[in-house]
Amino acid sequence: MENNQNNKEAQEFRQAADKVQQKNIQAMAKYAFELRKIALVDGLRQIVKNELINNAEIQAELNTIKNILAHFLGDKEIEQYLATNFPNWDNYRSEIMLTSFFNELESKIKTGEIPINKVRQIIKKYDENKL
């Protein structure tokens, strides 16, 4: 009898923990979407300011974003869409993230926020430990 009570309490505890984890994930996702919403609006303002609204590449990117959202909001699924429309999504994502990182690094070096000697030290340390 006591074992059943312990199992029941353990199950209730797991359910409560799952609910807390779900709430945390929901909050993180909401925050991530809020950041992207800000980035999207900032990007759209730059497009308008620089009169790039009719640029074919910009239009293609905006249409891709629209299609991803339309598909997800309709089907509530993303993996099959990516497999069909972006079969190399992981490579694409990595390339964009690395480009962003190196652009930010270059910017910080140019402004002096990150001293070039520090970058050289990191590269040298990497090269020494690479073997």
Domain extents for the chain?
88-131
Q: How far is CA 66 from CA 38, 55, 112, in A?
A: 16, 16, 38
| Tokens found for residue 8 | 């029941």
- Residue with the two structure tokens 């909050």: 27
pTM, two decimals, is 0.60
Residue 11: predicted pLDDT:
84
Residue 108: predicted pLDDT:
92
Distance between CA atoms of residues 103 and 78, nearest Å: 29
On the question of pLDDT at 112 being above 60, the answer is yes
Banded pLDDT at 78 (limits 50, 70, 90): confident
Residue 115: predicted pLDDT:
92
